[in-house]
A and B are shown apart, each in its own frame.
Chain A
Amino acid sequence: MSTYILGISCYYHDSSAALLKDGTIVAAAEEERFTRKKHDTSFPINAVSFCLESQGITIKDVDYIGFYEKPFLKLERVLSQHLEMFPYSLKTFLGSTPSWINEKLRVPRIIRKKLCYNKDILFIEHHLAHAASAYLLSPFKKSAILTVDGVGEWTTTAYGIGKGNDIHLIKEIMFPTSLGLIYSTITAYLGFSVNNSEYKVMGLSPYGNMNRKTNIYYQKLKKVVDVKEDGSYRFDMSYFIYHYADRMPSKKLCRLLGGPVRKPGEELTQRHKDIAAALQMVLEDVMTKILNHVHKVTKQDNIVLAGGVALNSVYNGKILRNTKFKKIWIQPDAGDGGTSMGVASYIYHTLLGKKREFVLKDAYLGPSYSTKHIKSFLDKNEIKYSEFKTREELLKTTAKLIYENNVIGWFQGGMEIGPRALGARSILSNACNPEMKEILNLKVKHREKFRPFAPVVCEDDALKYFDCDNPIPEATDFMLMVYPIKKQWRTKIPSVTHVDGSGRLQTIRRGQNPLYYDLIKEFGRLSGIPIIINTSFNIRGEPIVCTPYDTYKCMMGTGIDYLVMDNFLIKRDHNSRDIWDSEKYATD
């Protein structure tokens, strides 16, 4: 009989569920994809249902449920904040206490009630769940581990070592000092949304002054962070108020950075760009010191990373060059969403001591839909479509449409786990067209002008166009590594070349997604350059699409020209927009 373990993460941000069957993660998804509420924090009832249905099992077949943190330890930290900061913390006390009473302190009862579950529930420390998601799903049998996020129970940064089935987290940095929270604070200062738009600040940083000697904000931010030689760090908390208030930048920090918080939509000045650059440089300085220390202590060649800060792909691409580590692995959902996979793996491998054989090689763990289901959806809704007769016809037609500068919606197979679209729920277009960034922004994405689009390239072609680490780390397959584009190709693929000549590429290996891989090769035969723009299939402010319904609605509300859904080709102009107009619901 199989062993099933369900991992759950919820009530902070990015709720998710993951199902492990005999050591293999067989299903995982974030709740936001079902509820269509970005970064949904609610109990992941839909994600759990999907996980169980995907395996044709019921909750009775589940042997253990793992939860991604220890709620009472977290409460201890929250109460400590209130006690330390009395009376300034009144507003956050009033704001957060009801959710503690109604949800966070009733997790076992909620799980049992909502899922009709009566077996064991295990609670794993938050950074251990991150560490497990990084190490136990990796190809390494021995590795150093670093977890860096906003905050778990008390821990904000932890390092340790993984050996065989076991994980030992050795040291930690504790709240309120947190690299994740300083990044979020400056994100808020720059007028972007916290726990959502940190990656925009990362994308903005190359527009600023990246010279440590001449960027005055770098010098100023360095005053805020005291970093020791071993990478341990602490903040001068007089610059921060996040430990007792919800408005993150303090007046003192605003004074230090020379102005008030930027209002959303307000023009981004050179000062804002220099601040983003300064923040990225401070983060990189601290991370490099930490990693060098971790290497010295653990004496390992391999490093695995997890936590929200591990999504900083700009820094990730520099790790093997800046430190003594030789190999790196990061899982596709390195933020809190991925901890559901972490707890399930920790219970199975570490607590139950079962052999490790599974490696997370791709991110397509979400819902998939059969050809029959999709055809029935199209017919029922009287959507005009054509059906490809062969796989070759699908590849040739789609590659030609991309080459002719059409914007293509691409819906194939299981949805990705994690924040990036990786060729299952993607929008694809011609990376060689210098106008494509504007076309995509005009037709679909409406993104900030400074943000580049990401390229996807077959793994065996990547070293020709990108200055990647060699061999290319698997984390690049999850769009988690930014590398320089080789100089001679920058003008040939302008839409995916960032201002500093870098690209946040996705590499694809044929075994992960043969259809997607072959499409890129086919496009390369037409264009001479086998690189396509891959951006997430969603409208502004919405999660990535999940179902055929979400997908079709998204296409009809935007300027996507064609949708290739499974074996079907749908042209937007052949169908009427009326009730399907999703664009009017777009938010930031």
Chain B
Amino acid sequence: MSLKQFFSGFKKGMKNFGQNIALIVNSALLSIVYFIGVGFTSIISKIVRKHFLDTKLSKKATYWHDLNLKKKPIEEYYRQF
């Protein structure tokens, strides 16, 4: 194995190592956000019986929701929401 090959392998290994560390750190941080932020809000919502997805089957005549999406002033489209 030449020195050049050794260094390129070493560089590649270090890059992978760095990526794996970043993945672990990110996952740990995101898990904290998930359990504290999402978890806390979710538990409170469950207590007050607030649902975020409408999944209940019903006897109502329709499942259509009003959308009423039509042309708005152009300024409305600069927004991402």
A55 at interface, CB cutoff 8 A: no
Q: Kindly list chain B residues whose C-beta atoms are within 8 Å of the C-beta of A230.
A: 61-62, 64
A interface residue count range (under 10 / 10 to 19 / 20 to 34 / 35 or more): 35 or more
CA gap between A347 and B61 in the complex, in Å? 36
User: Given A70-B80, A351-B77 in contact, is the A172-B34 Cβ separation under 8 Å?
Assistant: no
Q: Kindly list chain A residues whose C-beta atoms are within 8 Å of the C-beta of B16.
A: none
Name A's interface SS: mixed
A84 in complex: contacting residue of B30, B52, B61, B63, CB < 8 Å:
B52
B30 in complex: contacting residue of A72, A97, A125, A155, CB < 8 Å:
A97
Interface residues of B in 38-52 (CB under 8 A from A): 38-39, 41-43, 45, 51-52
User: Given A90-B34, A230-B64, A232-B64 in contact, is the A125-B57 Cβ separation under 8 Å?
Assistant: no
B20 at interface, CB cutoff 8 A: no
Assess the B67–A71 pair: CB atoms within 8 A: no
CB distance from B32 to the nearest CB of A (A): 11
Most buried by A among B57, B61, B77: B77
Q: Kindly list chain B residues whose C-beta atoms are within 8 Å of the C-beta of A158.
A: 67, 69
Assess the A170–B68 pair: CB atoms within 8 A: yes
B65 at interface, CB cutoff 8 A: yes
A127 at interface, CB cutoff 8 A: yes
User: Given A86-B42, A122-B74, A234-B63 in contact, is the A94-B69 Cβ separation under 8 Å?
Assistant: no
Q: Kindly list chain A residues whose C-beta atoms are within 8 Å of the C-beta of B19.
A: none
Most buried by B among A86, A122, A351: A86
Assess the B71–A166 pair: CB atoms within 8 A: yes
Assess the B70–A167 pair: CB atoms within 8 A: yes
CA gap between A325 and B45 in the complex, in Å? 45
| CB nearest to A352 among chain B residues | B74
Assess the A87–B57 pair: CB atoms within 8 A: no
Total of A-B residue pairs, C-beta within 8 Å:
129
> A220-238, CB under 8 A of B: which get 1 and which 0?
0000001011101111110
A81 at interface, CB cutoff 8 A: yes
Assess the B81–A171 pair: CB atoms within 8 A: no
A121 at interface, CB cutoff 8 A: yes
* Interface residues of B, count at CB 8 A: 37
CA gap between A169 and B65 in the complex, in Å? 11
> A164-206, CB under 8 A of B: which get 1 and which 0?
0011111111111100000000000000000000000000000
A73 at interface, CB cutoff 8 A: yes
> B7-33, CB under 8 A of A: which get 1 and which 0?
000000000000000000011001101
User: Given A87-B39, A90-B34, A351-B77 in contact, is the A173-B65 Cβ separation under 8 Å?
Assistant: yes
Assess the B34–A232 pair: CB atoms within 8 A: no
> A106-117, CB under 8 A of B: which get 1 and which 0?
011000000000
User: Given A84-B53, A94-B27 in contact, is the A173-B69 Cβ separation under 8 Å?
Assistant: no
Assess the A83–B42 pair: CB atoms within 8 A: yes
A82 at interface, CB cutoff 8 A: yes
A323 at interface, CB cutoff 8 A: no
| CB nearest to A229 among chain B residues | B61
User: Given A90-B31, A123-B78 in contact, is the A175-B62 Cβ separation under 8 Å?
Assistant: no
Most buried by A among B39, B45, B71: B71
A70 in complex: contacting residue of B45, B52, B55, B79, CB < 8 Å:
B79
Known A82-B38, A97-B33, A122-B78; 14 more pairs at CB < 8 Å: A70-B80, A72-B81, A82-B34, A83-B42, A83-B45, A87-B35, A98-B26, A108-B80, A160-B69, A228-B61, A232-B63, A233-B63, A234-B57, A237-B55
Task: Report, nearest first, the 9 A-B pairs whose CB atoms are least far apart.
Answer: A232-B63, A72-B81, A80-B52, A86-B42, A122-B77, A169-B69, A172-B67, A171-B64, A84-B52
* Interface pairs (23), CB distance under 8 Å: A70-B79, A70-B81, A73-B81, A80-B52, A80-B53, A81-B52, A82-B34, A83-B42, A87-B39, A93-B30, A123-B77, A155-B67, A166-B71, A167-B70, A167-B71, A168-B69, A171-B66, A174-B54, A176-B53, A234-B63, A235-B55, A236-B57, A243-B53
